[in-house]
Structure 1
Amino acid sequence: MFQKEVYLQRRAALKSKVNSGILLFMGNEDSPMNYKDNAYHFRQDSTFLYYFGINEPSLGAVIDLDADKTILFGNEMGIDDIVWMGRQKTLKEKSIDAGLTEVQPLDKLDDYLQKAIEKKQQVHFLPPYRAENKIKLSHWLNIPITQLKEKASLTFIKAVVAQRSIKGAEEIVELNRAAALSADIHLMVMQQARPGMYERELAAKIEGAALATGGNIAYPVILTVRGEILHNHYHGNQLLDGQMVLNDSGVETALGYAGDLTRTFPVGKKFTAEQKDVYDVVLKAYTDAKNMLAPGVRYLDVHLTSCKTLAQGLKDIGLMKGNVDDAVAAGAHAMFFQCGTGHMMGLDVHDMEDLGEQYVGYTDDLLKNTTQFGLKSLRLGKALEIGYVLTVEPGVYIIPELIDRWKAENQFSEYINYDKLEQFRHFSGIRVEDDFLITETGSTMLGKHLAITTDEVEAVRGEAY
C-alpha cells in the first residue's frame, strides 16, 4: 500500500466531485477454478484498490456523502482462516493503513444500503463486470442484472475517470518500475529464444520472471509466431528459422500497476528482407505517433497520423496504392492495421475499461466511432492531458481470412494491391509498443530503452546463440 495520506487525499478529491448520496465500492471475490477452495490468483477491483488500497477478497465500502463518513465492510479472519492461511494483519489494522476509522461486518453492508434506500438516498455504483458482484448488486438494489450497466451512476463514473486518468507522483513511480521490469523480461526473451523451442517455453519464462519481481503478469502473455492474431494466447507452436516472434507482455507491480510492451524479433539471427521492410514501416508509424504526444493533442489524430504513415509505407512496398489520405479515410488501411494505436494505462492495462470506453477514451463532444472496422477498436481518442499514461503500439497484421473476404467482395481494390498481397499471405504480424507519460513539454517514455530498430534487435539476436 501507499501511505494512508494518499488514500485520504484520493477519497477527499472524489467526495468534492459528487454532491450527495452514497458511493458504493465493491471489492472482488475469490474466483474458483473448479471448486471453492481452488481459486484463481486474486486480483482486487482496481477502483477499490485506488481508493482503499486493501488487496484482499470479500470487501465492500461506502462513502456516505450525506452523513460525511466512510465505512469499510468485511470480516476479520476466524480461527479456521488462520489455520489454513496463517496469521495476518487484521482487517482493522489494514483499515488504519488506508486512513479509515470505521469497519463493520460484511453482512451489515446490505442493511446499510436498505436503510439508505428507505431514506431515498441515491446509491451511486459503478458498472460491475464480475458475475458474483452483479448478483450481489442486483439483490441489494433490486435491479435486474440485465439493467445494472445502464443504471450505473454516470456522475460516479465520470468522477472516477477524471481522477484516475491523471496519475499522481506515486503512481508514476510504480508505472515506471512496471515498464522497466517489463523491458528486462522482454530483453531476456529476445536473448533466450532459439529455433526449435516452443512458444510455451518462452511464455513460461515470462510468467516466472514476472512473479520473481514480486508482482505478476499484467495480462495473459501474447507470445506467438502467429503475430497476425491480435490477442493470441495459444502457445503451442514451434519456433522455426525464418519466422518472427511477437511478444506482447508486461509486469504488474505488487501494488497493481501495469507495464505493457511489445517487441517483434526474428526466430533466427536476422530478419528477412520482406520482414525488415515491413518492420521499418511499423517503426516509422510508431516514431511519428510518439513524436506527436503532447497536452492538447487528440489521440485520434495521433492514431490517424500513424495510420497514414503505415499506408504510405505499405504503398512504397507495393501493398497499397492510390491516395493515402483517401485510403485511410475510407478504412482501407484496416486490411493491415485492424486495431487502435494505443490506450490509457494505470492500475488496469486497459485503464478503467470496465467503466466504459466512451467515458475513458472519449468525451461528450467526441463520440467513439463504433462502426468503422479498425477505427471502432481505437480505445483512446480524446485530447491528452498532463499526467496521462498511455501506449503507442502500431502494427501490421496480414490475416489470410481477411484477404480472402475483402478480395471476394472487391473491397478497396482501388487502394489495396491484392496481387502483391498474395505474396505476403503467410507473413504473420509485427507490432512495437512502449508506454508514455504526458508531460508539460510533450511526453517521456516510461521504463528503459529496449532494442527496437532492426539493427538493435538483430544485434541482440546475433549475440544470443
Structure 2
Amino acid sequence: MPPIRWKVVSSVEQEADVADDAADEQPIKQRKNGLYTGVSDELAENMKSGWADTEQHGLEPIAQAGELAERRERLSARFPGERLVVPAGNLKTRSNDTEYPFRSSVEYAYLTGDLTEDGVLVLEPTGARGHTATLYLLPRSDRENGEFWLDGQGELWVGRRHSLTESEQLYGLPCADVRTVTDVLRRASGPVRTVRGYDAGVEAALADKVTAERDEELRGFLSEMRLVKDAFEVGELQKAVDSTVRGFEDVVRVLDKAQATSERYIEGTFFLRARVEGNDVGYGSICAAGPHATTLHWMRNDGPVRPGELLLLDAGVETHTLYTADVTRTLPIDGRFTDLQRTIYDAVYEAQEAGIAAVKPGAKYLDFHHAAQRVLAARLVEWGLVEGPVERVLELGLQRRWTLHGTGHMLGMDVHDCAVARRETYADGTLEPGMCLTVEPGLYFQANDETVPEEYRGIGVRIEDDILVTEDGNRNLSAALPRSSSAVESWMAELRS
C-alpha cells in the first residue's frame, strides 16, 4: 500500500499547531511563512539544491496536433466573438487521501490532446471572428517552497509533470499557469460559454457571466463535432478494436481457469490486455456467464462459470488517447452450442447481419435498429413466443420484452459517444462517412420469465461489432472476431488446442 502523503493545507489549518510533529506518519502542515512544521531549516534548504536539470528539449508535437488545431478552428467559427472555456476536470477522492485514476473530460481531450488533471483551455475572441487559444496547465512542482516533495501531488509523490515550455512543444499552444486562470476568467468581459460539470473553481469564477442554456449549446456542439471521425480517430478506434480482439482471445484461452474460479478471472484477464496495450478498459467489462447474460449491464462479475452455459463478454480496450472499442461475443463455455443455444444465437446473428447491411451513407441512423428488430420479431413469432403477424408485434413493440435495448450507439472517445448531440443530428439524423457506431442486437430470456418454455429461461445472447460508415457502405472494424455460431466454435477450438 502507498505511504501516507504530506499535504499543503488551507490558511485556516495553517493557524493550528500539530499535536505531534515527531510522528512521521502524520501529514506535515504549512505555516504562514511557507515553512513546514516537522521540517528543519537545514532539511528545507538541503532539498532545494543538488537536483539535475531534467528539462526536455526539442519535443515533437503529439501525433494528432494537426487535427486538434482544425477542431479548434471549427469551434471558433461556430461561436465568433465569444470566450470559450473548456476544463479538463479535477482529481476525485476515492477515500481519505487516495484518488480515483484521472480521466480528462472528453471535450477538453478532444480539443487539446492533453490528459492531465486541472487543465483549462481558453479561447479568447480576437474580434468579430477568430480566437486565440491558451492552454492553462499545472507547471512543474515548485522546488523553492518544497511542493515537489512535501505536497501530496508533488513530483516525488506522483511523478514529474511537463513544464509549460515542454507542453507548448507537445500541444502546439501557448501555455500558462492554471493557478492564474480563475483571476483571468473573473476579469473577463463579453459573452462567455463553458463546459460545466468538471471544474467547480472555473464555474465559480464565471458564475455571473454564463447561462445554463448557452453552456449546454456549447457542450452539444462539441458532441456533434465528434459524430464524424477524422483519419486519426479512425486509426485510434481500429487500434482499440485490435487490442480488444486479442483480449477476447486471451479470455478464450483461460476459460478452464475461469470455471475453477469465477467471472472475475475473465474480467482480470481482459483488463490485463487493456492495461498492457492501452490506457484502461473503455467501460466496466460485462463478463456475464449463465443467467447473468440476461442482465444487460452485469458488471459484478462474481458468478460461477459453468460448462454447458453461455458467456456473454462485452468489453473494450481504451487507447492512450481515450478512444474505446465496444465489442460483444456470446461464447459457449465448453466450446459447443447446444441446439437451443445455437437456434437463439443464429437468430441474433441474422438480426445483426441485417443491421450491419443497413449501415451506409445516406441511410437514416435508426434504419439498422429497425432492420435488426424486424428479424428478431419474426423469430419470436416463429417460435410461438408472441402472437403475429410481425407488423403487429413491431407496431406494439411486443418484441421488446426479450430484446430490451436499442441496437447500437455512436462510438468514440466515450463508449456512448456524442450523447448530448441534438436528436435531429443523431437519432433522427442521417449516416455519413466517418461515423462509427455499434450494431448489437440481443435476445434475453430471464430466468424467471414464465411466458417462455423452461428451456429458454436463463439464456442471453448479444453480438456486437464496431462499424465504420464508409463512402460506399461500411467496414466492420472488429471483423477479426468470428461471429457465426460455427465460426465461433472453430475459433474457440483452435485457441484451446
In which range does the TM-score fall when normalised by the shorter chain? 0.7 to 0.9
Q: Distance in 2 between matches of 1:87 and 1:136?
A: 24
Aligned-CA RMSD value: 2.2
Please say if 1:114 is aligned against 2:186. Answer: yes
Q: Which of 219, 226, 235 is the equivalent residue of 1:173?
A: 235
Equivalent residue in structure 1 for 2:284, among 199, 220, 243: 220
Q: Cα gap change, 1:397/1:381 in structure 2, threshold over 3 Å: closer, same or farther?
A: farther
Q: Would you say 1:199 and 2:263 are equivalent positions?
A: yes
How far did 1:3 drift?
Answer: 4.2
3-state SS of paired residue (1:270): coil
* Structure 2: distance between partners of 1:452 and 1:382: 28
In 2, the alpha carbon distance for the partners of 1:204 and 1:46 equals: 26
CA deviation after TM superposition for structure 1 residue 295, in Å:
1.0
Contact kept, 8 Å, 1:277 with 1:317, in 2: the verdict is no
Tell me how far 1:302 sits from its aligned partner.
1.5
Residue of structure 1 equivalent to 2:400: 334
Match for residue 301 of structure 2? 235
User: How far apart are the structure 1 equivalents of 2:208 and 2:311?
Assistant: 47
Q: CA deviation at 1:6?
A: 2.4
1:186 deviation in Å?
1.1
Aligned to 1:72: 135
The Cα of 1:50 is off from its aligned counterpart by 1.1
Counterpart CA distance in 1 for 2:439 and 2:93 is 35
CA distance in 1, matches of 2:161, 2:202: 29
Q: Does 1:457 align with 2:451?
A: no
Q: What SS does the corresponding residue of 1:332 show, helix, strand or coil?
A: coil
Max radius of gyration: which structure?
2
Cα distance in 2 for residues equivalent to 1:223 and 1:380:
29
Equivalent residues of 1:114, 1:140 under 8 A apart = yes
Deviation at 1:65, TM superposition (A): 2.1
Query: Tell me, what secondary structure is at the counterpart of 2:294?
Result: coil
85, 88, 92: which one aligns with 1:31: 92
Counterpart position of 1:153: 215
- The answer to whether the 8 Å contact 1:190/1:460 transfers is no
2:207 is equivalent to residue 142 of structure 1: yes
**Which residue number corresponds to residue 389 of structure 1?**
436
Q: Deviations over 1:174-208 (max 9, x none)?
A: 11111111111112212321244410011100001
Q: Does 1:41 align with 2:101?
A: yes
1:303-338 CA deviation, whole Å, 9 max, x = no partner? Answer: 111111111112222222211122112111110111
Report SS of the residue matched to 2:91: coil
Match of 1:376 in 2: none
Q: Provide the rounded CA distance (Å) in 2 between the counterparts of 1:138 and 1:46.
A: 17
Partner of 1:186: 248
Aligned length: 418
Separation in structure 1 between the aligned mates of residue 247 and residue 357 of structure 2, nearest angstrom: 26
From 11, 18, 33, the equivalent of 2:72 is 11
- 2:272 corresponding residue in structure 1: 208
Mean Cα deviation higher: 322-331 or 155-164: 155-164
For structure 2, the residue ranges without an aligned partner over 5 or more in a row are 1-61, 149-153
Partners of 1:305 and 1:234 in 2: how far apart?
Answer: 32
What is aligned with 1:51? 111
The alignment's TM-score, normalised by the length of structure 1, stands at 0.84
Contact 1:21 1:64 in 2 (8 A): yes
> Quick check: 1:442 aligned with 2:473?
yes
Q: By how many angstroms is 1:154 displaced? A: 4.5
Asked whether the equivalents of residues 447 and 458 of structure 2 are also in contact (C-alpha less than 8 Å), the reply is no
Q: Which of 172, 184, 191 is matched with 1:99 structurally?
A: 172
Alpha-carbon distance in structure 2 between the residues aligned to 1:235 and 1:3: 36
Cα separation, partners in 2 of 1:218 and 1:423, compared to 1, 3 Å:
same
Per the TM alignment, residue 143 of structure 1 is displaced from its structure 2 partner at its CA by 6.9
* Structure with the larger helix share: 1
Q: Deviations over 1:153-172 (max 9, x none)?
A: 34423432332211111111
- State whether residues 268 and 461 of structure 1, in contact with CA within 8 Å, keep that contact through their aligned partners in structure 2: no
Tell me whether 226-235 or 381-390 shows the greater mean CA deviation: 381-390
Q: TM-score, normalised by structure 2?
A: 0.79
Q: Select 2:371's aligned residue among 297, 305, 308.
A: 305
Instruction: Tell me if the contact between 2:164 and 2:176 (Cα under 8 Å) persists in the aligned partners.
Output: no
Q: Per-residue displacement from partner, 1:232-286 (whole Å, max 9, x unpaired)? A: 1011111112211000001111111111100001111211111111101100010
